[in-house]
């Protein structure tokens, strides 16, 4: 057994309609190691979010396997998949998806309550989490009373509430200004290291690869892997709408 939480093997995803078959992923392979931070870099429409949804068991592959500790997750029952998402996966969305009628505190309590914790424990722990993300004074604020950066901090606290093994973040800084985005990435790095989690996050900005141990460039449904030390210069071809790595052409 290797030291990977998740192994992706020959993963294929297509979407079919009467008019055409759209191939989003073409047999991709990669691993996420224990405690490893992985950046999935690609342009809009490159399949980044599809990959994350497959990893979280939200969507099903057309072919190929995703193994969690050598167990194929898409062979599980719906109940088993739900338990996997609740207990092993923390998900951070670009668009927050906070419940607008609940306070910041209550939004963070939700995964704890779903796991079967008492309301008193959930409230106490959620308060601690709010302090850990710098929002101790915002516990009773509704989402509309928070800035975008504050909303994303609530999302981070909610994602780590159940102490997941893997943190999955879809463009976690996509709606934030540069300074706030840097603060969120610094916070994520700190929490991942403190809680000994693995993390995979998507981005379309090469600058945001700086905290990653491994960078996966997704182009036309195929991937290239790099360590941070090996990562070459990245350009962008406006005609092909693709990243160009290490001087390669856009063809």
Cα dihedral sign, 133-138-140-143? negative
- Name the phi and psi angles at 185, rounded to 5: -65, -40
DSSP state of 204: S
Pick from 9, 41, 46, 40: nearest CA to 24: 46
Model confidence pLDDT, tens digit, residues 40-99: 998 888 889 999 999 999 999 999 999 998 899 999 999 999 999 999 999 998 888 999
Pick the residue with more confidence: 19 or 250? 19
Chain-centre distance for alpha carbon 248? 28
- Tell me the pTM: 0.85
Domain ranges, ordered by start, for the chain = 1-81+200-251
The matching CATH number, chosen from 3.40.50.300, 3.20.20.140, 3.40.190.10, 3.50.50.60, for 1-81+200-251 is 3.40.50.300
- Reduced to 3 states (helix: H, G, I; strand: E, B; else coil), residue 53 is helix
């Amino acid at each position: 057994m290797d030291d990977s939480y998740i192994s992706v093997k020959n993963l294929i995803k297509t979407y079919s309609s009467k008019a055409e078959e759209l191939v989003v992923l073409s047999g991709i392979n990669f691993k996420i190691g224990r405690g490893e931070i992985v950046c999935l870099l690609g342009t809009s429409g490159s399949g980044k979010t599809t990959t994350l949804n497959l990893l979280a068991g939200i969507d099903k592959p057309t072919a190929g396997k995703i193994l969690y500790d050598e167990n194929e997750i898409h062979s599980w029952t719906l109940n088993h998949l739900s338990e996997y998402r609740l207990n092993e996966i923390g998900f951070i969305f670009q668009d927050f998806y906070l419940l607008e009628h609940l306070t910041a505190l209550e939004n963070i309590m939700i995964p704890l309550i779903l796991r079967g914790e008492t309301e008193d424990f959930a409230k106490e722990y959620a308060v601690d989490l709010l302090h850990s993300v710098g929002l101790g004074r915002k516990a009773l604020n509704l989402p509309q009373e928070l800035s975008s950066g504050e909303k994303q901090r609530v999302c981070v606290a909610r994602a780590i509430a159940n102490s997941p093994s893997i943190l999955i973040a879809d463009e976690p800084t996509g709606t934030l200004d540069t300074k706030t985005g840097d603060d969120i990435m610094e916070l994520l790095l700190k929490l991942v290291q403190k809680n000994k989690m693995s993390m995979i996050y998507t981005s379309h900005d090469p600058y945001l690869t700086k905290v990653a141990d491994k960078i996966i460039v997704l182009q036309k449904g195929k991937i290239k892997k790099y360590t941070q030390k090996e990562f070459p210069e990245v350009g962008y071809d406006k005609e092909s709408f693709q990243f160009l790595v290490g001087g390669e052409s856009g063809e």
